[in-house]
Amino acid sequence: MLEKINLVTKEFFNELEKTENLKSIEELRIKYLGRKGGFADLFEEFKLLPGTEKPAVGKLLNESKVKCQNSFDSLKIRLEEQTNNNSQFLDLSLQGREISIGTKHILMQTLNEIKDIFKSLGFSVHEGPELESDYNNFEALNFPDNHPARDMQDTFFVNEKFLLRTHTSPVQVRLMKTTKPPLRAIMPGKVYRNEAISAKSYCLFHQVEGLYVDKDVTFAELKGTIVGFAKQFFGNDIKYRFRPSFFPFTEPSAEVDIWWQPTGKEGRWLEIMGCGMVDPNVLVNVGIDPEKYSGYAFGMGVERIAMRKYGIDDIRLFFDNDKRFLQQF
pLDDT digits (tens, 9 = 90+) for 222-258: 999 999 999 999 989 889 999 999 988 999 999 999 8
Closest CA to 161 of 134, 143, 182: 134
Q: Region 208-220: what's the mean pLDDT?
A: 95
Closest CA to 298 of 317, 271, 266: 271
Q: How confident is the model at residue 1 (pLDDT cuts 50, 70, 90)?
A: confident
When comparing pLDDT for 34 and 244, which is higher?
244
CA distance 281 to 187: 21
Residue 128: is its pLDDT beyond 90? yes
Q: Region 137-152: what's the mean pLDDT?
A: 75
**Number of neighbouring beta carbons within 10 Å of residue 140:** 23
Q: 276: Cβ–Cβ under 8 A, 6 or more apart, which residues? A: 222, 245, 247, 249, 250, 251, 252, 253, 254, 296, 297, 298
Which of the 8 DSSP states describes residue 151?
G
CATH number at 106-326: 3.30.930.10
Residue 87: is its pLDDT beyond 60? no
Closest CA to 245 of 277, 293, 216: 277
CA distance 5 to 43: 10
When comparing pLDDT for 83 and 276, which is higher?
276
Tell me the range of 67-76, 93-102, 181-190 where mean pLDDT is highest.
Answer: 181-190
Residue 86: is its pLDDT beyond 60? no
Residue 23: is its pLDDT beyond 90? no
Q: Region 185-209: what's the mean pLDDT?
A: 89
Q: How confident is the model at residue 55 (pLDDT cuts 50, 70, 90)?
A: confident
Q: How confident is the model at residue 92 (pLDDT cuts 50, 70, 90)?
A: confident
Q: 3: Cβ–Cβ under 8 A, 6 or more apart, which residues? A: none
CA distance 329 to 327: 5
Tens-digit pLDDT profile for residues 308-326: 888 888 889 998 888 888 8
Which of the 8 DSSP states describes residue 253?
E
Q: Region 169-189: what's the mean pLDDT?
A: 94
* Mean pLDDT for all residues in the chain: 87
